[in-house]
Structure 1
Amino acid sequence: MTTERQLTHIDDEGRLRMVDVSEKDSTERIARARARMRLSEPTLAAVLDGKVPKGNVFEAARLAGIMGAKRTWELIPLCHPIRLTAVAIDFHVDRSAGMILIEAEVKTCDRTGVEMEALMAVTQAGLTIYDMCKAMDREMCIGDIELTFKSGGRSGTYSRA
């Protein structure tokens, strides 16, 4: 449970602020996130067969996910710009469930974590898949966006069961 003392983005007068990380040590930090995307069978088949008119869906989504991670600080209020050292995006297909699992791992050696960057990466990748396939399937669904792992920093390691 979060207490008021733990709400570091709020000052003593209740105003939002960007947390001062200047006194923190730079340490290796890693975060992983995932999202699930549901598509119709014909749309998923087109993606897997390389028959989406806009091009290679997975490579466009991979690049978009990397770009999203790099620009998180511009899109999420109060996020710090972070020097990312690595961003990896992977896709796993469950054809029988009509599902694409999108996974991202983001690394840095900095003063604050990369959880938001990992979450942004999977979200941006999913949105790109949607954009590339929307003419074929308006009922696609991006969901279950979640942090699965983080390490580094004062709060230590977290791993979703």
Structure 2
Amino acid sequence: MTNFTHFNQQGRAKMVDISNKQETVRLAKAHSSIFVNKEIYEQIINLELHKGDVLAVAQVAGVMAAKQTSSIIPMCHLIAINGVNIEFNWEEKNESQFQLHITVEVKTKGNTGVEMEALTVASVTALTVYDMCKAVDKGMIIGETSLLEKSGGVNGDFKRQ
């Protein structure tokens, strides 16, 4: 069990000690998406949903999620988030289905990375869109969520091909 960083000598979960890691600027980008029908798409872009501006609420929820990641992922460290950016882009899949792409960037200067924060932001942002629109259609599908890239730290950079 000693080959796994999140397990102690007894094979029990532990939080990794990062006190000896060098403080560097760390960045992570993640992506998620949600598929919606034409009615929801039009209500979102025309700000016609009775719950309000869906993308504005989802964006705030995403930023809040970045700051709460360590509260919901057991072995994540509480870190100072220096920046969160969330961008939305629509793609028409066919005349009755639209995909909202959610691209997230999270940045910190510290001794551990922000990959989990970026993935959490992408997920919570998509979930918030679902929550805001479920009264119109519960058939929405949240798409794959993945890390796009990360930089900084001992393990080096990563970029999804």
Q: Aligned partners of 2:151, 2:115: CA distance in 1, in Å? A: 9
Which TM-score applies when normalising by structure 1?
0.95
Instruction: Show structure 1 runs of 4+ deviating over 3 A.
Output: none
Q: Aligned partners of 1:46, 1:117: CA distance in 2, in Å? A: 29
Task: State the partner residue of 1:52.
Answer: 49
Letter in 1 for 2:150: K
How far is the alpha carbon of 1:36 from its aligned partner? 1.4
Q: Aligned partners of 1:151, 1:63: CA distance in 2, in Å? A: 25
Task: State the partner residue of 2:82.
Answer: 85
How far is the alpha carbon of 1:60 from its aligned partner? 0.5
Letter in 2 for 1:157: D
Name which of 16, 20, 26 aligns with 2:17.
Answer: 20
Task: State the partner residue of 1:100.
Answer: 100
Matched residue count? 158
Q: Aligned partners of 2:36, 2:12: CA distance in 1, in Å? A: 42
Residues 115, 150 of structure 2: 8 Å contact kept: yes
Q: Label 1:96 to 1:25 Cα distance change in 2 as closer, same or farther (>3 A).
A: same
Which TM-score applies when normalising by structure 2?
0.95
Letter in 1 for 2:114: V
Q: Aligned partners of 1:48, 1:42: CA distance in 2, in Å? A: 10
Q: Aligned partners of 2:85, 2:133: CA distance in 1, in Å? A: 22
Q: Aligned partners of 2:3, 2:68: CA distance in 1, in Å? A: 26
* Correspondence 1:124 to 2:124: yes
Residues 26, 108 of structure 2: 8 Å contact kept: yes
How far is the alpha carbon of 1:6 from its aligned partner? 4.5
Letter in 1 for 2:158: Y
* Correspondence 1:69 to 2:66: yes
* Correspondence 1:150 to 2:147: no
Task: State the partner residue of 1:34.
Answer: 31
Question: Identical aligned pairs, as a percentage?
Answer: 40
Residues 91, 99 of structure 2: 8 Å contact kept: yes
Runs of 5+ consecutive residues of structure 1 not aligned to the other structure: none
Q: Aligned partners of 2:140, 2:100: CA distance in 1, in Å? A: 11
How far is the alpha carbon of 1:13 from its aligned partner? 1.3
Task: State the partner residue of 1:135.
Answer: 135
Letter in 2 for 1:63: V
- SS of the residue corresponding to residue 144 of structure 1 reads coil
Runs of 5+ consecutive residues of structure 2 not aligned to the other structure: none
Residues 149, 160 of structure 1: 8 Å contact kept: yes
How far is the alpha carbon of 1:133 from its aligned partner? 0.3
- SS of the residue corresponding to residue 86 of structure 2 reads strand
